[in-house]
Each structure stands twice: as C-alpha cells, then as structure tokens.
Amino acid sequence: MLAMWSRIICADVRRQMLSLALILALQGFVGSADGVKNGSHHQPWTIDFQVPTSTIVTLNGTVATANVFTRAGLWKDVVSIIPKLLGACPQGQICWKTVNGGPCLANTSIQAPTSGNRGSIGQASFNYATTPGNEAAFSAMAGYQGSALCKAAPSQGSATRVGTSLTLTSSSINAVAQSFMFTVTLTSAASSGQPTRRRLLQDAAPISGQVITISFGDGSPDGTVTTNSNGTASIVHRYTTHGTYKATARYTGSTVFLASHAMGLVQNGMLSSSVSLANNPAIPVATEQVTFTATVASGAAGTMVLANLTVELAYGDGSTDTSTTNSNGQAMFNHTYATAGSFPVVASFAGNAAYSGSSTSESLIVDLESSHLGLLITPNPAFASEETTFNVTITSGGPGSPRLAGKTITLDYGEAYMSDTTSSSANGVATFTHTYCRFGDVTATATFAGNGTYSASSVNTTLTVKSHCPGRKLRRRLAAC
Ligand SMILES: *[C@@H]1O[C@H](CO)[C@@H](O)[C@H](O)[C@H]1NC(C)=O
Ligand SMILES: *[C@@H]1O[C@H](CO)[C@@H](O)[C@H](O)[C@H]1NC(C)=O
Ligand SMILES: *[C@@H]1O[C@H](CO)[C@@H](O)[C@H](O)[C@H]1NC(C)=O
Ligand SMILES: *[C@@H]1O[C@H](CO)[C@@H](O)[C@H](O)[C@H]1NC(C)=O
Ligand SMILES: *[C@@H]1O[C@H](CO)[C@@H](O)[C@H](O)[C@H]1NC(C)=O
Ligand SMILES: *[C@@H]1O[C@H](CO)[C@@H](O)[C@H](O)[C@H]1NC(C)=O
Ligand SMILES: *[C@@H]1O[C@H](CO)[C@@H](O)[C@H](O)[C@H]1NC(C)=O
Ligand SMILES: *[C@@H]1O[C@H](CO)[C@@H](O)[C@H](O)[C@H]1NC(C)=O
Ligand SMILES: *[C@@H]1O[C@H](CO)[C@@H](O)[C@H](O)[C@H]1NC(C)=O
C-alpha cells in the first residue's frame, strides 16, 4: 500500500519536476534576454519571468467579482500547474475602484476560484453597496496587482444601472379607523440599449432589500419600508380626517438600480351608512314602555355594523333621546307614549369623519291603553228614600293596574234615566250618591268614555232597592219622590 502511494507520489513529483525543468528552461531563455538588458546583474536562475494575466470583472447586484485568468496561450497547460507548484500565481490583491479611477476603494486578497469559473486561477469579490456614488452608469474597476510570478492586469467591468419600476397600492383595512395598507412593489424595468450580457436581472424581476420612502400626503411623517424577496413591502397608515390624499412612494436608487417613484390617490372619503329601526312590542300601547333598537351599519349592505356611534331618536311626540351603538351596532331606547296615535319616529346617525349620516323613519301606531271600572254600592241592597253611595274605581289595564285620577265617570243609576258625572279622585275613585224613589231591581251602570290615552269602559251592577216598610211593598212609587 505504502509502495503504491509512494509510486503515485513519485510519478506526480516526477511530472512536476519535469514541468519545472521546462519552465526553468523557458525562464532561462527569457531571463537571459532580461539579463542582457540588466547587464551587470545577470543571474542565470533568477525567476523574473511573469505569467501574463487578465482580470475579468462580473457584477451581480452590487457585488463585483474579479476572476484572474492566465493569458499564457501557448503556455496554458504548463502555467496551470504553476500555482499548484508554487502557490504563487496569482497571489496578492485586487484593487477595487470606481470607473472614475482614483485610489483603490479597497484591496481584497485573491482566493481560490469557486467552481463554475472555468479557467480562473484566483478570485476576489467586493461589494460596492457601501461605496458612495449615484452615477447613471454603475461600474466597477478591478485591477489584479500581480505577484512575483504573475503580471498585474487591470480590468474594468461595468453595468448600466438597471431601470426600476415602482408600484404603490393602497387598500382600506379598517374604514372606521380610517386605516390603509400601503404596498409597494419594486421590480426591474426594461432598459433599452443596455447590453444584454451586462443585464443583471430579468425585466420585472423583484428587487429585494431596497428602502422605499412613502409619503402619505397628509403631512404626517414619511414611512420607510424595505422590500422583501418578492420586491414588496407594506405599511399601515391611519388618516385622521377624510378626504383625498396623494400618496407617493420614492425609491432613490442605488449604484445598481435607477431611482423610480410611484403615486397613488387615496380616497379616504365618507362611506355611506344606514340606520334600521325596530321596536318591541310591534304595536305599543300608550302608557307602556316600548323599546326601540336602531342598528347602524356601513352602507355596503349590512356587511359591517358600526359600534360606538351616537344615534338620535325622535319619538314623534316631541321628545328625543340619544344613545350609543354597542358592539352589535345597536343603540337602544326606552320610551313611553302618553297617548295613542300615529307617531313619525325618526332614527338618525349624524355621520362622523368616516361615514356620512343616515336616517330612517317609521310611522308608529300606538294603541289605547285599556281601562277598567269597579263599582261598589253601599248599602247593597239599597233602601228606597235613603241615600245610596256608589264608589266607582277606575284602573289602567297596564302593568300594576294603577288607579286613574281625574277621569270623567258617568253613573247611570238605572232609574228614570237619572245619571251623574264626576271626576275620579287622586286615588282613582269617583263617589256618587243617589236616593232611589222606588222599590225593585235597578241596573246601575258606570261609564268611562275614554280619552286619547285610555279606551272607554263601563261596568254595571243590578241592584235591589228595598223598602223599610214591608207592608207597603206593593206601592212602588214613594210619596217622598
Ligand atoms: C537588475 O537586477 C537587479 C537585481 O536582480 C536589480 O536590483 C536592478 O534593479 C535591475 N536593473 C534593472 C535596470 O532592471
Ligand atoms: C447573484 O447573487 C445572488 C445572491 O447573492 C445569487 O443567489 C445568484 O446566484 C447570483 N447570480 C449569479 C449569476 O451568480
Ligand atoms: C490597496 O493597495 C494599494 C497598493 O498596494 C495601496 O496603495 C492602497 O493604499 C491600498 N488601498 C487600500 C484601501 O487598502
Ligand atoms: C413571496 O411570495 C410568495 C408567493 O406569493 C409567498 O409565498 C412568500 O411568502 C412571499 N415572500 C415574502 C418574504 O413575502
Ligand atoms: C367611542 O368614541 C369616542 C369618541 O367618539 C372615543 O373617544 C372612544 O374611545 C370610543 N370608544 C371605543 C370603545 O371605541
Ligand atoms: C329599557 O328598559 C329595560 C327594562 O324595562 C332595561 O333593562 C333597559 O336597560 C332599558 N334600556 C335603556 C336603554 O334604558
Ligand atoms: C267610597 O269612597 C269614599 C271616597 O273616596 C270613601 O271615603 C269611602 O270609604 C268609600 N266607600 C267604601 C265602601 O269603600
Ligand atoms: C287621558 O287621561 C290621562 C290620565 O288622566 C291624561 O294623562 C291624558 O292626558 C288624557 N289624554 C287626553 C288625550 O286627554
Ligand atoms: C251590563 O254588563 C254586561 C256585561 O258587562 C252587558 O252584557 C250588559 O249589556 C250590560 N247591561 C247594561 C244595562 O248596560
């Protein structure tokens, strides 16, 4: 095994030695010519032969890569062995300049070439991103500075800056908050006249890592975003008042890319709104509470209810309330109508910075409340020619059956069309007195004719009128009457 390796190594070394001998022989030939020129200092084995080189610069984005190639031509095969033998070609550094020349911006050491650079014997890269300069044409100049074995070779690579195209779009993400999402997209643009081989990017290729400045058009500070791998970036902005704004996006360009800008109009206008109104019960009754629910939504057919808005409700009876919509967009109102009738109810939202106002109206029918009469007769049975007391109690049919004061009650005593009218007292009692003139059964009827609030009602009681003198029972008509 060892023997085999030593054979292989020896074969390699033999080949290399042969090459070296050849090189040295060639060098001796060239060197003696130099020696003649140098005259007095001729030394036969001094290596002052240098391999001619070339430097080719390619650009990828802001990164310039210089590859050093031998221009040995005839000596190509031989020369390719030299670096392996001596590790000396190419050695040293690449000087990076702008196309305008000047001092080296930086020197980078030559490294082994990466694969895919056929024929390159050394490579170095430099990123121009950090260097100032905004020339219309971006160029990199690389100079291989040579080494003991390899000649220096300056070269220059340049690329016209790639034209860019910037788009700016905006979309409303929260109409109530008046927030908009701005999205910019930076892509390469067709740049006519640019040599194809220098084209770094396809047309319409996304350009990443670029800072875009966005002015929102409302005087607020600009926003800055950095494009992602898709060449896009987004930022949210909130406008405080509605209106039309001219938003602009600016890309100032780089050494690689030309500047571009885009403009967009943002319509942060008033959106329409709608108000709907419902009431419970559907047909309310006077003196009883009715609950109104006004719902405010964005104009786009119920897509979004709007919370925290003030709704005014005119009940149509001269009174008005305001209430605020809850998270369901509902504003609730309780109201009690004093009288029955038809009322024009109007629910309105005055509008705000985001929404125009809206309203709805309905003609609300309010029914009469029912009333009830009670009739208490004392004494019962009554006695002819003695006073009989009638207490008529009037109550509301509403919750709690409150007594009704001030109601006009008519009491028909059931005798010869005699009747009286009086008002109910504060506790809802109308008191009547009557003296019957005859014996027998009578029907006393109390009537309330109703008013704008209460329906009419009546009550009747059949009453027996007796005599204190049973013997005179047949004599119906009393002398006293
Ligand atoms: C000749 O060679 C010597 C040493 O090799 C060097 O110092 C000198 O500069 C050279 N002269 C010229 C004219 O190249
Ligand atoms: C250019 O650079 C990018 C990233 O640095 C790399 O992905 C791409 O392959 C390079 N293009 C060429 C042609 O080398
Ligand atoms: C690069 O190297 C050159 C030559 O050796 C030297 O003059 C220059 O100062 C160096 N520049 C930088 C930035 O290192
Ligand atoms: C780029 O676009 C693709 C497809 O639309 C998406 O899947 C990806 O997440 C995007 N990348 C970034 C960084 O936004
Ligand atoms: C409701 O609106 C008022 C002003 O109209 C505002 O101050 C308040 O923060 C809002 N509340 C909510 C919960 O949005
Ligand atoms: C309406 O009245 C009901 C009780 O009858 C009450 O629960 C509700 O909170 C009231 N609503 C308003 C807005 O006053
Ligand atoms: C009838 O009403 C009067 C006045 O409200 C009251 O004083 C009287 O006690 C009542 N009579 C009866 C039997 O309730
Ligand atoms: C009906 O009577 C009630 C109770 O006394 C009163 O409040 C109301 O105003 C009256 N309605 C009309 C239309 O007179
Ligand atoms: C008495 O009341 C009853 C029912 O409440 C009614 O049917 C009747 O007609 C009334 N009678 C008179 C005389 O009003």
For residue 166, give both structure tokens.
């910037």
Query: Is the pLDDT confidence value at 300 over 70?
Result: no
Q: What is the pLDDT of residues 249-299, one digit of tens each?
A: 999 887 667 788 888 877 776 778 899 999 999 999 999 999 999 999 986
Query: Is the pLDDT confidence value at 134 over 90?
Result: no
Q: Which domains does the chain have, with CATH numbers?
A: 49-160 (2.60.40), 164-268 (2.60.40.10), 273-366 (2.60.40.10), 371-472 (2.60.40.1930)
Q: Helices (DSSP H) in 198-239: which residue ranges? A: none
For residue 274, give both structure tokens.
């709608």
Alpha-carbon dihedral sign for residues 131, 135, 137, 141: negative
Ligand 3, CB within 6 Å, residue ranges: 95, 104, 106-107
Query: Is the pLDDT confidence value at 368 over 90?
Result: yes
Pocket flag, ligand 1, residue 171 (CB < 6 Å): no
Distance between Cα 476 and ligand 9 center (Å): 25
Pocket flag, ligand 4, residue 443 (CB < 6 Å): no
SS3 421: strand
**Among the listed residues 473, 425, 428, 465, the one whose alpha carbon sits nearest the alpha carbon of residue 443:** 465
Pocket flag, ligand 1, residue 423 (CB < 6 Å): no
β strands within 271-337, DSSP E: 273-280, 289-298, 310-314, 320-324, 330-336
Query: Is the pLDDT confidence value at 220 over 70?
Result: yes
Query: Is the pLDDT confidence value at 479 over 70?
Result: no
Pocket flag, ligand 4, residue 228 (CB < 6 Å): yes
Distance between Cα 32 and ligand 1 center (Å): 13
- φ and ψ of 306, to 5 deg: -115, 120
Q: For residues 403 and 369, give the distance between their C-alpha atoms in angstroms, rounded to a whole number.
A: 13
Q: Tell me, what's the pLDDT at 443?
A: 93
Report whether 187 contacts 281 (CB < 8 A). Answer: no
Q: Tell me, what's the pLDDT at 431?
A: 96
Q: Tell me, what's the pLDDT at 449?
A: 94
Distance between Cα 137 and ligand 3 center (Å): 25
Query: Is the pLDDT confidence value at 317 over 60?
Result: yes
How far, in Å, are 74, 113, 148, 162, 308 from residue 152 at the CA level? Answer: 19, 18, 10, 31, 77
Of the two residues 66 and 84, the one the predictor is more confident about is 66
What is the position in ligand 6's atom list of the atom closest to the CA of 332?
A: 13
Q: What is the pLDDT of residues 184-197, one digit of tens each?
A: 999 887 543 343 33
SS3 content of the chain, % helix, strand, coil (to 5): 15, 50, 40
For residue 68, give both structure tokens.
């050093």
Q: Which residue has the tokens 């200092």?
A: 41
For residue 450, give both structure tokens.
């109703």
Q: What is the CA radius of gyration of the chain?
A: 54
For residue 111, give both structure tokens.
């490294």
Report whether 85 contacts 145 (CB < 8 A). Answer: no
Q: Tell me, what's the pLDDT at 312?
A: 96
Across the chain, what does the average pLDDT equal? 78
Name which of 101-105, 385-389, 456-460 the model is least confident about.
101-105
Q: Whose CA is nearest to atom 3 of ligand 1?
A: 41
Report whether 170 contacts 127 (CB < 8 A). Answer: no
β strands within 227-309, DSSP E: 232-238, 243-251, 260-268, 273-280, 289-298
Q: What is the pLDDT of residues 1-40, one digit of tens each?
A: 444 444 444 444 444 444 444 454 444 433 333 333 444 4
What is the position in ligand 4's atom list of the atom closest to the CA of 228?
A: 13
Q: Tell me, what's the pLDDT at 42?
A: 42
Name which of 43-52, 115-124, 400-409 the model is least confident about.
43-52
Kindly provide the b/e burial profile for residues 161-183, where b requires at least 16 CB atoms within 10 angstroms of the residue's own CB: bbbbbbebbbebeebbebebebb
Report whether 86 contacts 50 (CB < 8 A). Answer: no
Pocket flag, ligand 1, residue 241 (CB < 6 Å): no
Residue 380 C-beta-side C-alpha neighbours within 13 Å: 14
Report whether 347 contacts 358 (CB < 8 A). Answer: no
Residue 14 amino acid letter: R
- φ and ψ of 221, to 5 deg: -60, 145
Pocket flag, ligand 6, residue 322 (CB < 6 Å): no
Choose which residue among 367, 454, 457 to substitute to test ligand 8 binding: the one with the highest number of ligand atoms within 8 A of its C-beta: 454
Distance between Cα 63 and ligand 2 center (Å): 9
Of the two residues 353 and 203, the one the predictor is more confident about is 353
pLDDT band at 404 (very low <50, low <70, confident <90, very high): very high
DSSP state of 3: H
Q: Tell me, what's the pLDDT at 50?
A: 67
Burial of 57 (0-12, 13-18, 19+ CB in 10 A): buried
DSSP bridge pairs for 140: 157
Pocket flag, ligand 4, residue 363 (CB < 6 Å): no
Distance between Cα 72 and ligand 4 center (Å): 48
SS3 247: strand
Q: Tell me, what's the pLDDT at 155?
A: 66
Residue 225's H or E segment, with its range, is strand 223-226
Of the two residues 102 and 377, the one the predictor is more confident about is 377
Pocket flag, ligand 8, residue 402 (CB < 6 Å): no
Burial of 417 (0-12, 13-18, 19+ CB in 10 A): exposed
Q: Tell me, what's the pLDDT at 25?
A: 45
Distance between Cα 331 and ligand 5 center (Å): 15
What is the position in ligand 3's atom list of the atom closest to the CA of 106?
A: 13
Distance between Cα 428 and ligand 6 center (Å): 29
Query: Is the pLDDT confidence value at 325 over 80?
Result: yes
Distance between Cα 362 and ligand 5 center (Å): 29
Pocket flag, ligand 6, residue 241 (CB < 6 Å): no
Choose which residue among 423, 427, 429, 453 to substitute to test ligand 8 binding: the one with the highest number of ligand atoms within 8 A of its C-beta: 453
The residue length of the chain stands at 481
Residue 476 C-beta-side C-alpha neighbours within 13 Å: 5
Query: Is the pLDDT confidence value at 199 over 80?
Result: no
Pocket flag, ligand 7, residue 376 (CB < 6 Å): yes
Q: Tell me, what's the pLDDT at 471?
A: 53
Report whether 92 contacts 142 (CB < 8 A). Answer: no
pLDDT band at 111 (very low <50, low <70, confident <90, very high): confident
Ligand 9, CB within 6 Å, residue ranges: 443, 445, 460
